[in-house]
Structure 1
Amino acid sequence: MKTVTRVPALWSRVPQELRLPLAVFLSCQACYLLWWAAFYPGLMSVDSVAYTWQVTTDHWRSDHSVLYNALVWLTLNITGDLSALTLLQTIAMSAVLGLTCASLRTLGVRGRWSAPAAVVCAAAPPLGSFVVFVWKDVPFTICAVLVFAVSAQLLGRRLHGTWNGRVHASELLLLCTGLLGVDLFRNNGFPMSVIASLALLLALPGARRLIAGLAASATALTLLLMLVVYPAAGVEQPSKTFIYNLHYADLAVAYAQEPGLFTPADLRLMARVAPLSAWRGAGTNCYVSDVLYYNPSLNRTVADRLSEPLVRLWWRVLRTAPEQIFGARLCRAHIAWAVFPGPRDKSARTWTYGTSIPADLWGFRPIQDSPYRPVLKARPLSQALNHAATFGRSAFRVPQLEWLFWRGATWCYATYALVALLARARRCRPLLALTGVTLGVQLTVLAANPAPCFRYMAAPLFIGVLCISLIPTLRASTR
């Protein structure tokens, strides 16, 4: 009884302004702990295996996030397992969701609406289970939502007329953390941070130099690390075939659809890399670049050596038939703009990934004799929880509702509509800057995307669900 009576007493000591974010943090963390226990030490993909192999064999490569690889290395060396990393991811996301609810309060969103939206983010299988994946895209998404939260806080001050052109130290620290995380946890993340910063820059007079300088510094640091520091530290650069694989996929689509664009010399060049039948076959599927990149007949050594003439060919096709290149890019970026998934026979349904870890680790042979091989195994803390969580994810994969539960584009458009209505209701156009993060992610994926992976558009799903809490505010504004 004493413990029960002490809880209200302890809660009464929490400052009023901290109660909402703390309550959201605790509620979301309780949900995430269930996901974490169900899929202990964490959900994995072949990328998770690659991270582990790279950092435990000194084969560091920058084709994945070096920062996330460093976190994997640190976790393995301190704890000997990956569970601490996924647990920290849940704590970070819970904290960011709590901060977001506090920030939305400055826009007039009451906690009774924002808190349930945040809990949905933690409880719903598509989003809740995502946070316990060993994936660089998880901290990227956390940082993207953090940038959204800080944006809401800054724009809330603008809405209420308390904006004085100054960014508080705490806001600056959080914004800097979010932008750097977005840049460093995904190799193509810096365009998103630039777009989000540009939106804030236009909406916040008096802080434009600061925001521009912050965005420029984050981008410059990212490029410096990728181009100078990582190579100097012995981090292996990705192969040219990896870097230009989307260009090669574009050529394959163009060749399959309009072979007359290619001269005999072009065809001889392409045939040195892979049989023309492989190019043509890959080009019939514009949704996925992996069809060509992982084709056994593709000679990657030759492709690396011939990357310059192949890229020149790509530029020539772009100049002569831009509709072919743009069409291939839009098709492959289907996950970014299309509400409904593509055809199943083209592997164009949303790639959600499963909850089981195969015994052969997706055919990743180099890790088989590693002392860390036992770490890469599902060890749920509760079989009952595991069965329930697996059932939940499977139930939410019903094809008829894929557009709602797994498609980031759906929630991009919902966010744009809700923010536009809020800006109109409050007669405050600067509020449109709330769409900066979502727009940045969508345009970045639209520009260069290899496959219809759910994880690439996870951030807009989180933000879109949180923006549902704007609806009661719209109703109040129209009265």
Structure 2
Amino acid sequence: MTTISRFTGARFLPPVPALRRAAARLPERARLPVAVALVCEAVLLLWWLAFHPGLMSFDSVTYVWQVTTGHWRSDHAVAYDVLVWLSLQITGGLAALTFVQTVALAASLGYVCHGLRALGVRGRWAAAAPLAVVLVPSTGTFGIFVWKDSAYAVAAVLAFGACAHLAARQRDILHWWLLAAAMTGLSVFRNNTYPAVVTAGLMLLIAMPRRWRAIAAATLVPTALALGLNFGVYPAIGIQEPRTSSYYAFNYADIAVAYHRAPRDFRRSDLAVMSQVAPLTHWSSGGANCAWVDPLMGRPFDRPAAERLNGRLLDVWGHVLSKRPDLMLSAHLCRGRIAWALPRNDSDIFVQPPVITADRFGYSRPGGLMEHSRFLPALRTDPPSASLHRAGVWAYTAARAPELTWFLWTGSLWCWATYLIVLRLVRRRPLRAALALAATTAGLQVAVLVATPAGLFRYMAAPVLLGFLALPLLTAAHPADRPPGKGRARGSARRAAPDEPSPPRSGATA
């Protein structure tokens, strides 16, 4: 009878008392991070329901077409394609994938909150930053996109949380494993991210030189894994490699920019090669927009011809580089502007609209690649509440106001802000290990500077999230870098000998 009454009582226990009892069972230091993760998940679920099954772009439809028609290619992240395929095969749609992304992001934000507390940030500020990430439309909706960049951003948040714990001298092996998992995510969810992981590793080495073995394992192993997959495993199992014209599109774009600005510096032999790929007028018009590769690579640019003449086109690129390096550097910096400069106009940063077109971005048009696909119903917005959907669209659209671009959508701004915040923290407290907090951001910025095809927000979305999360470090309490118990021992000594001067506080480095 007692057992039955206990079961019945637990079954009909009011939710609030039940939650309080569950919270009481948690260790005290875990209560705030768990609460933050749960609240973040609740907010993310509202975005998820508002745009159910998730926000999409042309790339999202491309993923679905590739994995459902056998056209697997490694020009996109194969690891994310696998997640898309699993979601479609298990559930018939994409809502499961985007839901898992919200859970992963919420858990990572709770982990970051715990790391900020370990660094001496007050609870209210450690909780406010993750909540801001999920409430602000530019970052809150990013976790529900069917995009490899969304998974990439979640991995970046997890890496930031691990770095926060390690900077606070929490040497638990768990944090190193989580850092390795995050670096693996960064390595497999974007093809050109090797500079990001290597740069982050170098920053971590500066911050914590004595931990070089662990740093090497957490960064070089994921990099080697990604390289092995891209150049060994994927081709071996029949996954197509990116086209040659995709690999060298950046070089072609450099040629176009130089030709548009200084056509007289090109030799006749250069022009002869270029004209076999596209009319010279197209090269010039394509180079007029130095920030985007797409205008050049579109029609009438002949991709097969470019691949056939790729070696000769690279000779043209090398000649122009030797004669006009200023133009080549200008083209490269212009294309990577989103990584280092503030936007000059509305077209510098492209933000994906919150709308899935009726023709699925051209794929379902008559004669399109997915005209008769049975997965077309999965590629549309189907929210359970029309009112919630309208509210979500309104909030997202309002955030796209040009006057808000610099603050809500500019990754370069938040990169520089993160560096200043971390430098202030390191200078205020002699804690070199705190430089680790800038490692992930520096890696993301360098990766985009090295190679980016256009000024798309998604390429620099992760630094925006990390910038928001770095803001509470401005309030970090000074004693946070003391070893555990040092403050209490020092306080006891003062009470025992009030007239004895306190010893000078020594700097601590990791």
Q: TM-score, normalised by structure 1?
A: 0.94
**1:24 corresponds to 2:32:** no
Q: Note the 1:158-177 alignment, pairs <5 A.
A: 167-177=171-181
Amino acid at match of 1:466: L
User: CA separation of 1:476/1:18 partners in 2, compared to 1, >3 Å: closer, same or farther?
Assistant: closer
Conserved? CA contact 1:49–1:367, under 8 Å: no
**Structure 1, gaps ≥5 residues long:** 158-162
* Equivalent residue letter for 1:155: A
Larger-Rg structure: 2
> Following superposition of structure 1 onto structure 2, how do residues 69-468 of structure 1 map, counting pairs within 5 Å?
69-157=81-169, 167-294=171-298, 296-339=299-342, 341-344=343-346, 348-364=347-363, 365-468=368-471
Which stretch of the first structure deviates more once superposed, 365-374 or 63-72? 365-374
Preserved contact between residue 176 and residue 218 of structure 2 (Cα < 8 Å)? no
Q: Matched residue of 1:380: which SS?
A: coil
Residues 198 and 212 in structure 1, CA contact (< 8 A), matched pair in contact too:
no
Q: Does 2:55 correspond to 1:43?
A: yes
Q: Do the aligned residues in 1 keep the contact of 2:120 with 2:477 (CA within 8 Å)?
A: no
Q: What residue ranges of structure 2 are gaps of 5+ in the alignment?
A: 1-12, 481-510
Instruction: Measure, in 2, the Cα distance between the counterparts of 1:326 and 1:229.
Output: 35
Question: Take 2:411 and 2:168, find their aligned partners in 1: how far apart are those partners?
Answer: 25
- 1:127-180 CA-to-partner distances (Å, cap 9, x unmatched) read 1111100000001111111111111111111xxxxx7xxx53312221111111
CA-CA distance at 1:78 after TM superposition: 0.4
Give the counterpart letter for 2:354 in structure 1.
T
- Write the letter of the residue equivalent to 1:239: R
SS in 2 for 1:33: helix
Q: Aligned partners of 1:209, 1:476: CA distance in 2, in Å? A: 29
Instruction: Give the share of equivalent positions with the same residue, in percent.
Output: 44
In 1, are the aligned partners of 2:208 and 2:432 still within 8 Å (CA)? Answer: no
Q: Which amino acid aligns with 1:224?
A: G
* CA distance, structure 2, for counterparts of residue 464 and residue 476 of structure 1: 23
Q: How far apart in 2 are the matches of 1:15 and 1:155?
A: 22
Shift of 1:316: 2.4
1:388-441 CA distances to partner (integer Å, 9 max, x unpaired)?
Answer: 011001111111121001101111111111111111111223322311111111
Which residue type is aligned with residue 201 of structure 1? Answer: L
Paired with 1:232 and 1:142, the residues of 2 have a C-alpha distance of: 29
Which residue type is aligned with residue 23 of structure 2? W
- 348-357 or 451-460, which deviates more: 348-357
For 1:278, give the aligned amino acid: H
Task: State the partner residue of 1:160.
Answer: none
Contact 1:425 1:474 in 2 (8 A): no
Which stretch has the larger CA shift, 136-145 or 443-452? 443-452
SS in 2 for 1:286: coil
Could you list the per-position Cα deviations for residues 21-58 of structure 1 after superposition, in whole angstroms to 9, with x for gaps in the alignment? 10111010000000000000000000000000000011
Report which stretch shifted further, 205-214 or 396-405.
Answer: 205-214
Contact 1:202 1:208 in 2 (8 A): no
Letter in 1 for 2:218: L
Alpha carbons of 1:322 and 1:78: their partners in 2 closer, same or farther (altered >3 Å)? same
Q: Deviations over 1:70-93 (max 9, x none)?
A: 000011000000000000000000
Shift of 1:215: 1.9
Name the aligned partner's letter for residue 30 of structure 2.
L
Tell me how far 1:474 sits from its aligned partner: 6.4
Q: Which amino acid aligns with 1:211?
A: I
User: Matches of 1:155 and 1:449 in 2, distance apart?
Assistant: 31
In 1, distance between residues paired with 2:91 and 2:359? 24
Measure how far apart 1:291 and its partner are: 0.6
Q: What is the deviation of 1:66? A: 0.2
Q: Alignment partner of 1:206: what SS?
A: helix
Contact 1:252–1:280 (CA<8 Å) still a contact in 2? yes
Tell me how large the CA RMSD over aligned residues is.
1.5
